[in-house]
């Protein structure tokens, strides 16, 4: 009988075959930039964030520069990302913490990243994987949450509990890319409202396939 880890292994191999260049769509050149971009990306598209960040990175090239930013100006600069007041507060708080406690360099451990204002495990995991090439967990964003449930990898709704389930199933060597693979598939095929089950290469491995197709045929 096939084990759960073997099942997940098959899913990962297919995802890697179809998305060999899977990585974050956020544009950045340093750990600080991916941190800023990831904070802005909450409840916002990566495409929108990538339109905001070039000017932001140029104006605030270091954590110290960002920590000294006028809050009102920063809010205006990131307004189109949504929730701009809370995001500005998080950016300023994180930049100040990095400047005062970490010598101006973004910390590179999970425990230290979690001390930064506005940084929870999802953000920390993305910064670690994309910015440092370190795998200390698996980022659970909206795509990872949706696909984890549809693929039967977790029944949980809380991101931290979903991550715990994934860490027990996904081999550590795949932690680094697993979120990016799910995001790619979530955008291309397993979309939120209209998953393209009929043409999905994971059909034979997905317990949600029959349910979606049955519902579609009843309409």
* Catalytic positions: 122, 141
Cβ–Cβ < 8 Å for 5, 171: yes
Measured CA to CA in angstroms, residue 168 lies from 14, 120, 153 at distances of: 20, 20, 10
Report how far residue 217's alpha carbon sits from residue 209's, in angstroms, rounded to the nearest whole number: 12
Report H helices in 60-83.
63-67, 71-77
User: Alpha-carbon distance 127 to 154, whole Å?
Assistant: 24
HEC letters along 173-197: HHHHHHHHHHHHHHHHCCCCCCCCH
- CA torsion sign for 186, 159, 125, 6 is negative
**Nearest alpha carbon to residue 142 among 159, 118, 123:** 159
The whole-angstrom separation of Cα 138 and Cα 195 is 23
From the list 46, 81, 53, 48, the residue with the least C-alpha distance to 179 is: 46
Contact by Cβ (8 Å): 137, 131: no
């Amino acid at each position: 009988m096939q084990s759960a880890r073997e099942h997940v292994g098959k899913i990962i191999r297919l995802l890697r075959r179809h998305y060999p260049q899977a990585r974050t769509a956020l544009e950045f050149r340093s750990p600080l930039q991916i941190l800023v971009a990831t904070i802005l990306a909450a409840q916002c598209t990566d495409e929108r964030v990538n339109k905001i960040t070039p000017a932001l990175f140029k104006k605030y090239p270091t954590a110290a520069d960002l920590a000294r930013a006028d809050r009102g100006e920063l809010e205006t600069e990131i307004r189109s990302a949504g929730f701009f007041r809370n995001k500005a507060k998080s950016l300023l708080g994180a930049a100040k913490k990095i400047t005062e406690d970490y010598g101006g360099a973004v910390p590179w451990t999970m425990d230290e990243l979690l001390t930064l204002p506005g940084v929870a495990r999802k953000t920390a995991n993305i910064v670690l994987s994309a910015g440092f090439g370190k795998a200390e967990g698996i980022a659970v964003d909206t795509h990872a949450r949706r696909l984890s449930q549809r693929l039967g990898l977790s029944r949980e709704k809380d991101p931290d509990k979903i991550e715990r389930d994934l860490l027990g199933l996904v081999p550590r060597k795949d932690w680094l890319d697993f979120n990016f693979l799910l995001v790619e598939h979530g955008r291309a095929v397993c979309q939120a409202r209209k998953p393209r089950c009929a043409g999905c290469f994971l059909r034979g491995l997905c317990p949600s396939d029959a349910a979606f197709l049955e519902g579609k045929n009843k309409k």
